[in-house]
DNA sequence: AGCACGCCGACT
DNA sequence: GTCGGCGTGCTC
């Protein structure tokens, strides 16, 4: 034990600690180090001649793990920290598993065992795969655009097997939105690649994570399918990244560590000099723009012959609605009736859980709010609870107003899926109705049960939230009713319009597959809105062009850069005063605007008051560098939190 | 970030 | 007098 090393440790704001290491240890080696009374994995970052810490205080490392981080991994860590304005110890936490234990002996799988069961490709798929494989030895981002049913997965399989066969020891990462990492979603993929698939998501146990981490590190794991955090696995020889549903907002981690896995994946592909496929039927505005600018290569997959036919989309102007029901228009109800008569399935989509989003007192206007969040309590009538959708807070449905103590004055305002179910059952009392939300799928076994019910034709009317928009294919479903298309229209969030368009497009696509052409009824109070008109004409180009021009004129991303700084604290004055102080020391720079602080749109969450500062700059300005040097002047008191979000999706 | 140490209010 | 709130500092 003679050498001194600076070791990267997975501790926020500590980043590096000095230790004594054995002679045979090298830079980039993974090591086990004692910290206080714990042991953690770290990476030897540099070898030092002397330490600032007195030599007698330096502890020797506990162990060499026998593996080292690749040089690219190290660059990736640095760049992720720099881009997101994280201390590097925070990035190390993303990369290093919590449990230390010597790995079992790991046996490497031979190439020939890896692939079976690949379906032959059609002409369009063949062309796409060929184009992608042109870039197999270099960095290239490829936008693979294709509607549901165009067979993107077969293209993935083909490209993956080609690359795995050609490059011994290479590893491939397929990222999926968390919601698609369910048993059924994976069945097809596992069939093609057998037992050699490694699946990584938030549900696997810490011990499984540790094993998989070592299997990726040793090179045994060749094909890894995972949610966003799989991007931080210690690949030794990554040769391809695929981001499925690249537009999906779940790639943007908003809580705790804030980063965008899709963008970090592009960064990693660039560092590794490998191709990355960004696949979607409704790509994000920034990806489309990158393709238009020639930064990304665009590959289009034609819809399969005999595949989905685009449904007939009808806009229902709710200002003209004469129906007795406030939320279900005459036109939609007639269409439902006609479909039921033909024994076809109907889906009603409303992105709002529960019975009613607000409970109000008619006498004194008291509104039931969460105790620790600044949000309304949502009535869940079946559960007999008023619930906060932002924290665990819930109370039994009250009989008396908490404000004026009067009885029988409380009214449920607005609809949620439960209320739509109630109305539908009143109108179509013979119909078999099933309501699904994320809450109904607590166990994965339930998931299969519901799915089978729908497929076995035991359901006439399916009511649900956005979880119905993704993935599944219901052959008998020929009518989709969007109850309230205006949820998400007219908001000021940066990606509000884009998300709404993508969601409504996806939901519409549920109607009519195979032989029968589908119908979609979209209920709205804004029939002239550009999102609604683009959907009506089945014209995504129209939406994209108009959204791009809105962003350009309002100088919003991708035509400008944004970062948000969120300051939270349990005492309002402390948080607000500190936020003001932060803004007051912002360096003045003509290319940068510092806006705020303002009380955030959810001004209190889980007992913490929230203040937001928005930083906006020109497109080519290094906003990270600016913010880092600004915040270096400030010490955040321990009773407050400060979180930077580079390229935020939410700015309110 | 955690976790330990230490300094002032309220309660048996 | 002590129990414990959280403010401050340290981890090599």
CA atoms within 13 A on the CB side of A377: 24
Q: What is the pLDDT of residue A442?
A: 67
A385 CB neighbours strand B below 7 A: no
Paired with A4 in beta bridges are A20, A48
In the complex, which nucleotide's C1' lies nearest to the CA atom of residue A6?
Answer: C12
Residues sharing a CB contact under 8 Å with residue A604, sequence separation 6 or more, in sequence order: A372, A373, A374, A610
Q: What residue is closest to C9 (Cα–C1')?
A: A638
- Reported as type and span, the H/E element at residue A552 is helix A540-553
A14 CB neighbours strand B below 7 A: yes
Distance in angstroms, CA of A390 to C1' of B10?
A: 35
By C-alpha distance, which of A473, A528, A532 is closest to A501? A532
Q: What residue is closest to C8 (Cα–C1')?
A: A638
Distance in angstroms, CA of A368 to C1' of C5?
A: 32
- Reported as type and span, the H/E element at residue A334 is helix A330-341
Distance in angstroms, CA of A38 to C1' of C3?
A: 29
Helix ranges (H only) for A400-483 are: 417-427, 444-455
Distance in angstroms, CA of A363 to C1' of C1?
A: 54
A92 CB neighbours strand B below 7 A: no
- Chain C positions with a protein C-beta closer than 7 Å: 6-9, 11-12
d(C-alpha A163, C-alpha A175), whole Å: 17
d(C-alpha A611, C-alpha A602), whole Å: 9
Paired with A568 in beta bridges are A610, A641
CA distances from A379 to A356, A411, A440 (A): 5, 10, 16
Torsion angle, alpha carbons of A400, A404, A406, A411, to 10: -60
Beta strand pairing status for A394-396 and A385-387? antiparallel
Q: What share of chain A is helix, strand, coil (3-state, %, to 5)?
A: 35, 25, 40
A36 CB neighbours strand B below 7 A: yes
In which region does residue A164 sit, left (phi positive, over 0), alpha (psi from -120 to 50) or beta (all else)? alpha
Q: What is the pLDDT of residue A377?
A: 97
Residue A503 burial (CB < 10 Å; 0-12/13-18/19+)? buried
Distance in angstroms, CA of A86 to C1' of B2?
A: 18
Per the CB < 8 A criterion, the answer to whether A217 and A28 are in contact is no
Beta strand pairing status for A345-349 and A461-464? parallel
Distance in angstroms, CA of A371 to C1' of B9?
A: 27
In the complex, which nucleotide's C1' lies nearest to the CA atom of residue A638?
Answer: C7
A515 CB neighbours strand B below 7 A: no
d(C-alpha A269, C-alpha A338), whole Å: 51
Query: Which residues in 579-638 of chain A line strand B, with CB less than 7 A from it?
Result: 638
Q: What is the pLDDT of residue A100?
A: 57
In the complex, which nucleotide's C1' lies nearest to the CA atom of residue A642?
Answer: B1
Distance in angstroms, CA of A168 to C1' of B11?
A: 72
In the complex, which nucleotide's C1' lies nearest to the CA atom of residue A574?
Answer: C7
In the complex, which nucleotide's C1' lies nearest to the CA atom of residue A38?
Answer: C11
Please state the separation of Cα A168 from the chain's center in Å. 32
In the complex, which nucleotide's C1' lies nearest to the CA atom of residue A87?
Answer: B1
Distance in angstroms, CA of A100 to C1' of B5?
A: 29
A11 CB neighbours strand B below 7 A: yes
Reported residue count of chain A is 652
Task: Flag residues of chain A having pLDDT under 70.
Answer: 1, 99-112, 114-118, 180-189, 192, 304-309, 442-447, 471, 513-514
Count Cβ atoms below 10 Å from residue A167 Cβ, excluding itself. 17
Residues sharing a CB contact under 8 Å with residue A36, sequence separation 6 or more, in sequence order: none
Distance in angstroms, CA of A636 to C1' of C8?
A: 13
**Start-to-end C-alpha separation, chain A:** 54
CA atoms within 13 A on the CB side of A403: 14
In the complex, which nucleotide's C1' lies nearest to the CA atom of residue A12?
Answer: B1
Count Cβ atoms below 10 Å from residue A449 Cβ, excluding itself. 11
Q: What is the pLDDT of residue A470?
A: 77
In the complex, which nucleotide's C1' lies nearest to the CA atom of residue A90?
Answer: B1
In the complex, which nucleotide's C1' lies nearest to the CA atom of residue A52?
Answer: C12
Distance in angstroms, CA of A389 to C1' of B6?
A: 40
Per the CB < 8 A criterion, the answer to whether A243 and A251 are in contact is yes
Distance in angstroms, CA of A271 to C1' of C2?
A: 60
CA distances from A623 to A36, A289, A604, A630, A632 (A): 37, 21, 28, 11, 14
A303 CB neighbours strand B below 7 A: no
Q: What residue is closest to C6 (Cα–C1')?
A: A639
In the complex, which nucleotide's C1' lies nearest to the CA atom of residue A14?
Answer: C11
Count Cβ atoms below 10 Å from residue A217 Cβ, excluding itself. 23
């Amino acid at each position: 034990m003679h050498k001194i090393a600076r070791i990267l440790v997975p501790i926020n704001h500590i980043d590096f600690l000095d230790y004594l290491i054995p002679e045979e240890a090298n830079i980039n080696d993974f090591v086990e180090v004692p910290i206080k009374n714990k042991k953690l994995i770290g990476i030897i970052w540099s070898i030092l001649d002397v330490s600032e810490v007195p030599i007698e205080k330096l502890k020797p490392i506990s162990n060499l793990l026998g593996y080292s981080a690749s040089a690219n991994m190290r660059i990736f860590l640095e760049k992720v920290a720099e881009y997101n304005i994280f201390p590097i110890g925070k990035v190390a936490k993303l990369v290093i598993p919590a449990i230390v234990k010597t790995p079992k002996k790991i046996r490497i799988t031979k190439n020939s065992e890896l692939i079976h069961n690949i379906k032959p490709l059609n002409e369009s798929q063949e062309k796409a795969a060929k184009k992608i494989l042109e870039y197999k030895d270099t960095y290239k981002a490829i936008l693979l655009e294709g509607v549901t049913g165009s067979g993107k997965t077969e293209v993935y399989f083909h490209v993956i097997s080609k690359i795995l066969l050609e490059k011994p020891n290479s590893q491939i990462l397929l990222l999926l939105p968390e919601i698609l990492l369910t048993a059924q979603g994976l069945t097809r993929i596992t069939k093609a690649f057998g037992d050699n698939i490694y699946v990584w998501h938030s549900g696997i146990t810490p011990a499984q994570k540790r094993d998989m981490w070592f299997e990726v590190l040793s090179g045994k794991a060749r094909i890894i399918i995972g949610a966003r955090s799989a991007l931080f696995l210690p690949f030794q020889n990554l040769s391809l990244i695929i981001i499925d549903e690249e537009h999906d907002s779940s790639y943007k981690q908003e809580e705790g560590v804030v980063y965008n896995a899709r963008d970090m994946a592009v960064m990693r592909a660039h560092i590794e000099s490998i191709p990355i496929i960004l696949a979607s039927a409704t790509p994000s505005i920034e990806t489309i723009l990158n393709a238009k600018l020639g930064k990304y290569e665009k590959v289009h997959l034609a819809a399969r012959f005999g595949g989905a036919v685009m449904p007939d989309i009808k806009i229902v102007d709710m200002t003209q609605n004469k129906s007795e029901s406030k939320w279900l228009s005459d036109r939609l109800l007639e269409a439902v009736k006609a479909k039921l008569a033909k024994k076809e399935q109907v889906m009603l989509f409303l992105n709002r859980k529960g019975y009613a989003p607000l409970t109000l007192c008619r006498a004194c206007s008291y509104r039931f709010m969460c105790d620790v969040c600044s949000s309304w309590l949502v009535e869940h009538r079946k559960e007999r609870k008023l619930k906060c959708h932002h924290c665990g807070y819930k109370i039994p449905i009250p009989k008396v107003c908490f404000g004026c103590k009067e009885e029988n004055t409380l009214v449920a305002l607005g609809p949620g899926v439960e209320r739509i179910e109630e109305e539908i059952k009143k109108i179509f009392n013979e119909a078999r109705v099933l309501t699904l939300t994320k809450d109904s799928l607590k166990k994965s076994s339930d998931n299969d049960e519901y799915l089978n019910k729908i497929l076995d034709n035991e359901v006439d009317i399916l009511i649900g939230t956005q979880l119905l928009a993704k993935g599944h294919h219901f052959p008998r479903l020929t009518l989709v009713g969007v109850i309230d298309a205006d949820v998400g229209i007219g908001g000021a969030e940066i990606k509000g319009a884009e998300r709404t368009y993508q969601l409504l497009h996806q939901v519409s696509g549920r109607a009519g597959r195979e032989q029968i052409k589908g119908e979609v009824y979209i209920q709205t109070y804004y029939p002239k809105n550009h999102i609604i008109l683009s959907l009506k004409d089945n014209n995504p180009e129209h939406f994209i062009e108009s959204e791009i021009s809105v962003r350009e004129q309002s100088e919003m991303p991708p035509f400008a850069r944004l970062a948000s700084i969120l300051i939270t604290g349990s005492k309002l004055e402390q948080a607000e005063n500190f936020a003001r102080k932060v803004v007051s020391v912002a360096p003045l720079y003509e290319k940068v605007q510092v806006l705020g602080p303002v009380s955030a749109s959810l001004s209190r969450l889980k007992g913490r008051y929230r203040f937001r500062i928005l930083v906006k700059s020109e497109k080519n300005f290094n906003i990270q560098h600016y913010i880092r040097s600004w915040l270096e002047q400030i010490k955040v008191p321990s009773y407050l939190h400060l979180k930077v979000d580079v390229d935020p999706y939410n700015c309110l």
